Amino acid sequence: MDQAFITMPKGFKANGVCADLKGNGALDVGLVVSDVPANIAGVYTSNLVKGHSLTRSIKVINKGGKVRAMIVNAKNANAGVGPVGEEDAQKVAEAVASELGVTADEVITASTGVIGIRLPYEKIVAKVPELVSGLSSSEEAGHKSELAMMTTDTQPKEVAATITLKNGTEVTIAAMAKGSGMIHPNLATMISEFTTDADIAPELLHKMLKEAVSHTFNRVTVDGDTSVCDMVVIMANGVSGAVIEEGTEDAALFQEAFTSLALDLSKMIASDGEGATKFVEIEVFGARDEYDAYLIVSSIAKSPLCKTAIYGMDANWGRIATAAGYSGAKFDPNNLSISLCGVQMCKDGVSLEFSEEEMAELLKAHDINVKVELKEGDAYDRMFTCDYSHDYITINGSYRS
Amino acid sequence: MDQAFITMPKGFKANGVCADLKGNGALDVGLVVSDVPANIAGVYTSNLVKGHSLTRSIKVINKGGKVRAMIVNAKNANAGVGPVGEEDAQKVAEAVASELGVTADEVITASTGVIGIRLPYEKIVAKVPELVSGLSSSEEAGHKSELAMMTTDTQPKEVAATITLKNGTEVTIAAMAKGSGMIHPNLATMISEFTTDADIAPELLHKMLKEAVSHTFNRVTVDGDTSVCDMVVIMANGVSGAVIEEGTEDAALFQEAFTSLALDLSKMIASDGEGATKFVEIEVFGARDEYDAYLIVSSIAKSPLCKTAIYGMDANWGRIATAAGYSGAKFDPNNLSISLCGVQMCKDGVSLEFSEEEMAELLKAHDINVKVELKEGDAYDRMFTCDYSHDYITINGSYRS
């Protein structure tokens, strides 16, 4: 869907304003609000060190009540500043709650950016009236809330889908995300918000969210670094009138659409990884078990040597074999086969002849596929990443400034 | 020692020749020979995928006999080409053996370079007579054997030490190594050769080698990638007349010198990592146990975000906290303290004020120290690495060409 935006489901409004956090006049505080109390589910970074806006939100979500709003700021992670960090996040939540006429426990907070500098919460609080008064369900307002949470992203990441339930009711799901560095799986990999106008009970919503992220957001890596602020949340407000119950055909339909949107966002995040010039899909077939399959795709996806070779458009399959070999997975190297962009480079551990000219041409493509085949079992996994370019170094050599 | 070279211990000769493997007229085949049969011990890459010259050498060393020579070629890894790979390595060993008048089982083979292209063994075999006839114990010949195995190294890495045993006998140990990419611990991290004129039984030699590498070569990372060809070997020929026995003061003295040389080479390898502009030492204090200490130093040392920040001379301690947090080690983030170049950035999980000007000045230094302190126990570990620069990307985007 070309013109997707977060407020497409019924009963959601959004806005984005500039609170002068980025310092360049760009939008940097975004808000998404449900007209009525919405069920919420979230998954969070597995990093031991967690940002304070996030730890506050986890506490709020764990209380189990419904929520009305989620506010996100860019440029400052509100992390590593001690107990004052949660207090600052609470002040932001209170300002939003007061302006909306709800309680602070109905407001989720998220922050992304630099660690270790106190959140300039006064700047945000001062902009809350403008943020709330501009709330709208328009496409423009939806896009503004996405733009406001982008950091090094070069492209907005917004998706949506409408499904028709068995009884004919239409349900819409929309989502947006920000990348694009410090990204690695086994966590919710970045900040992403989903909205839906279906009514889904919190337990089912959480179950569906975990299923949706497991082979999507949890299979994206940009640099193997796991941020302290990452979360994926979904707000379900029921305004469509549709109630989705566990174990029904409707639930299966919803899950399919949900997972598919998560997959689309995941690919967008990988493709827009910091400094990326390529989107890379890595697949492993025939691994001994699921864990070994994961070890192999993740080892290749993280390998700086594989990622720089792809940047350099070099058919260096030996680095792929090397990364598989040190992944910790068990396999017989004499049964290892590797294909790059559909061309088999190595079969049963032995290199094959290939045309350097043909490979150079194929490797010019933006989308690169790496296939690894073993003969240990039938486990499969897949991961998405990008290449490592000179720009990755430039972007990350001076991120704080 | 400024003028160290591999033939400093008594009874060793070396040489290096150009077999046109590198294609630029540089030396690319090196040989080290002991005048008499020497005991040998080796440690090898933990990668499942192993190069064929290496697998052949492992078999030869595991037979337990003494050896006379080690031949190393650069530019071609002799890996991923199937059974013919070991046959090619054997042909090289036989050519050396024939020229020296010894058996092929007395010749260790090692290769480093590109994976998946058959070893041009005829080129090497054709040069063996020149290689052997030029053998010498001279400083120049020693240096040539080091230059011949360098790939992307910018500096030769040669060290030596002489110790005096209790009975007054002098024993010399010399060593050389090549780096400088695809380097990560839990393996022998690169190719390194040690020689000594002490007589040390194979079991003790192996034990000493394992001890020497454990906190030196096994604590260097350049890019987290683990090569398929790595090995560290020591040849002990006994020509000094000194016999070193297990459990003696002499053994302790030898171990100390041995480990110290391994440490020096390890620092040289990190410092000369591909594209490196900085040498980085990462220390953790107060971890729960040794394994957690290792997880933390290795997570920071591998983090592309930490490494690019150091390249950019950016006091971004938040990335260090982040890498510690996702390392898998267990600790309370509220007890986490971090120092960079001797300046404390974060104490008990809370950021401290610091002068950006002072940090910018300190981070201009070539040697950068990162200290992480926890309050979980008393385990300590240390790792050596380098920064990630634009040149790392340039070097690795086009390594095969």
Model confidence over B196-219: pLDDT tens digits?
999 999 999 999 999 998 888 888
Is residue B182 over pLDDT 70?
Answer: no
Q: Measured between alpha carbons, how far is A394 from A375 in angstroms, rounded to an integer?
A: 41
Q: Does residue A377 sit at the B interface (CB-CB below 8 Å)? A: no
Model pLDDT, residue A115: 85
Strands B157-164 and B170-178, by their bridges, are antiparallel
Model confidence over A4-16: pLDDT tens digits?
999 999 999 999 9
Contacts of B390 in chain A (CB under 8 A): 390, 393-394
Q: Is the peptide bond before A389 cis (omega within 30 degrees of 0)?
A: no
Section A35-43 average pLDDT: 93
CB contact at 8 A, A350 and B80: yes
The token pair at A84 is 């004052």
Model pLDDT, residue A130: 98
Cβ within 8 Å of residue B342, ≥6 positions away: B362, B369
Q: What are phi and psi of B142, to 5 degrees?
A: -60, -50
Q: Measured between alpha carbons, how far is A2 from A53 in angstroms, rounded to an integer?
A: 32
Residue type, A236: A
Asked if A116 and B317 come within 8 Å (Cβ–Cβ), the reply is yes
Q: Catalytic residues of A, which ones?
A: 189
Nearest residue to B319 via CA among B331, B332, B310, B329: B310
Is residue B222 over pLDDT 70?
Answer: no
Cβ within 8 Å of residue B331, ≥6 positions away: A48, B287, B288, B292, B324, B374, B376
Model confidence over A220-263: pLDDT tens digits?
776 555 666 678 889 999 999 999 999 999 999 999 999 999 89
Model pLDDT, residue A223: 59
The pLDDT-based confidence of A194 (bands split at 50, 70, 90) is: very high
H-only helix segments in A63-201: 84-100, 121-133, 139-149
Strands B191-196 and B170-178, by their bridges, are antiparallel
Model confidence over B30-69: pLDDT tens digits?
999 999 999 999 988 878 888 999 999 999 999 999 999 9
Asked if A115 and B81 come within 8 Å (Cβ–Cβ), the reply is no
The fraction of chain A above a pLDDT of 90, given in percent, is 64
Model pLDDT, residue B163: 94
Going A81 to B311 to A317 to A356, the CA torsion angle's sign is positive
Is residue A399 over pLDDT 70?
Answer: no
The token pair at A202 is 């919190």
Contacts of A181 in chain B (CB under 8 A): 305
Asked if B81 and A351 come within 8 Å (Cβ–Cβ), the reply is yes
Section B366-378 average pLDDT: 96
The pLDDT-based confidence of A185 (bands split at 50, 70, 90) is: very low
Model pLDDT, residue B7: 96
Contacts of A225 in chain B (CB under 8 A): 303-305, 319, 322-323, 326
Distances, alpha carbon B39 to alpha carbons A170, A297, B148, B190, B385, in Å: 78, 41, 24, 21, 32
Model-level pTM greater than 0.90?
Answer: no
CB contact at 8 A, B191 and B230: yes
Beta bridge partners of B370: B282, B340
The token pair at B227 is 């090569």
The fraction of chain B above a pLDDT of 90, given in percent, is 65
Is residue A85 over pLDDT 70?
Answer: yes
Asked if A323 and B397 come within 8 Å (Cβ–Cβ), the reply is no
Is residue B221 over pLDDT 80?
Answer: no
- Ramachandran class of A101: left when φ > 0, alpha when ψ lies in -120 to 50, beta otherwise: left
The burial class, CB within 10 Å (0-12 / 13-18 / 19+), for B133 is: exposed
Q: Is the peptide bond before B180 cis (omega within 30 degrees of 0)?
A: yes
Q: Measured between alpha carbons, how far is B324 from A30 in angstroms, rounded to an integer?
A: 30
Is residue B188 over pLDDT 50?
Answer: no
Of A49, A325, A398, nearest to B49 by CB-CB distance is: A325
Asked if A50 and B333 come within 8 Å (Cβ–Cβ), the reply is yes
Residue type, B3: Q
CB contact at 8 A, B242 and B163: no
Q: How many residue contacts between A and B have a Cβ separation below 8 Å?
A: 220
Contacts of A339 in chain B (CB under 8 A): none
Distances, alpha carbon A71 to alpha carbons A96, A140, A236, in Å: 8, 17, 16
CB contact at 8 A, B4 and B233: no
End-to-end CA distance of chain B: 36
Model pLDDT, residue B1: 44
Model confidence over B318-363: pLDDT tens digits?
889 988 988 889 999 999 999 999 999 999 999 999 998 999 999 9
Q: Does residue A336 sit at the B interface (CB-CB below 8 Å)? A: yes
Rounded to 5°, the CA angle B269-B297-B341 comes to: 80
CB contact at 8 A, A81 and A52: yes
Contacts of A314 in chain B (CB under 8 A): 397-401
Model confidence over B377-390: pLDDT tens digits?
999 999 999 888 88
CA-based nearest distance B73→chain A, Å: 18
Q: Does residue B364 sit at the A interface (CB-CB below 8 Å)? A: no
CA-based nearest distance B95→chain A, Å: 25
Residue type, B158: E
Beta bridge partners of B236: B39, B196
CB contact at 8 A, A286 and A377: yes
The pLDDT-based confidence of B179 (bands split at 50, 70, 90) is: confident
Cβ under 8 Å to A: B residues 182-211 = 182, 184, 187
DSSP string, B281-323: EEEEEEESSHHHHHHHHHHHHH-HHHHHHHHTT---HHHHHHH
Q: Measured between alpha carbons, how far is B149 from B157 in angstroms, rounded to an integer?
A: 11
DSSP annotation of A2 reads: T
Asked if A223 and B48 come within 8 Å (Cβ–Cβ), the reply is no
Instruction: Report the SS3 class of residue B325.
Output: helix
Distances, alpha carbon A286 to alpha carbons A333, A342, B70, in Å: 13, 17, 39
Asked if A116 and B331 come within 8 Å (Cβ–Cβ), the reply is no
Q: Measured between alpha carbons, how far is B194 from B157 in angstroms, rounded to an integer?
A: 12
ipTM, interface predicted TM-score of the complex: 0.72
Q: Measured between alpha carbons, how far is A250 from B143 in angstroms, rounded to an integer?
A: 74
Model pLDDT, residue B177: 87
The burial class, CB within 10 Å (0-12 / 13-18 / 19+), for A113 is: buried
Section A116-133 average pLDDT: 96
Q: Does residue B312 sit at the A interface (CB-CB below 8 Å)? A: yes
Section B360-370 average pLDDT: 94
Active site residue B189: yes
The pLDDT-based confidence of B227 (bands split at 50, 70, 90) is: low
The pLDDT-based confidence of A180 (bands split at 50, 70, 90) is: low
CA-based nearest distance B66→chain A, Å: 30
Is residue A189 over pLDDT 70?
Answer: no
Model pLDDT, residue A164: 94
Q: Does residue A50 sit at the B interface (CB-CB below 8 Å)? A: yes
Beta bridge partners of B73: B29, B111
Of B80, B117, B396, nearest to A349 by CB-CB distance is: B80
Candidates B189, B195, B196, B216; catalytic one: B189
Rounded to 5°, the CA angle A338-A339-A345 comes to: 75
Model pLDDT, residue A369: 96
User: How many other C-beta atoms lie within 10 A of the C-beta of residue A139?
Assistant: 15
Which of A46, A48, A359 is the mutation pick for testing B, counting most B CBs within 10 A?
A: A48
Asked if A77 and B314 come within 8 Å (Cβ–Cβ), the reply is no
Section A370-390 average pLDDT: 93
Asked if B399 and A303 come within 8 Å (Cβ–Cβ), the reply is no
Q: Does residue A399 sit at the B interface (CB-CB below 8 Å)? A: yes
Cβ within 8 Å of residue B62, ≥6 positions away: none
Asked if A305 and B396 come within 8 Å (Cβ–Cβ), the reply is yes
Model confidence over A315-353: pLDDT tens digits?
989 889 988 988 889 999 999 999 999 999 999 999 999
Residue with tokens 């400093």: B8
Contacts of A325 in chain B (CB under 8 A): 47-50, 226, 228
Q: Does residue A331 sit at the B interface (CB-CB below 8 Å)? A: yes
Torsion of CA A243, A248, A251, A257, to 10 degrees: -130
CA-based nearest distance B318→chain A, Å: 5
Cβ within 8 Å of residue A361, ≥6 positions away: none
Beta bridge partners of A272: none
Beta bridge partners of B369: B281
Distances, alpha carbon A342 to alpha carbons A281, A371, A384, B341, B392, in Å: 12, 8, 17, 48, 28
Contacts of A397 in chain B (CB under 8 A): 308-309, 311-312, 314
Which of B49, B288, B368 is the mutation pick for testing A, counting most A CBs within 10 A?
A: B49
The token pair at B132 is 């052997």
The burial class, CB within 10 Å (0-12 / 13-18 / 19+), for A375 is: middle
Section B88-107 average pLDDT: 98
Of B49, B181, B318, nearest to A321 by CB-CB distance is: B49
Q: Measured between alpha carbons, how far is B7 from B142 in angstroms, rounded to an integer?
A: 6
Q: Measured between alpha carbons, how far is B351 from A119 in angstroms, rounded to an integer?
A: 12
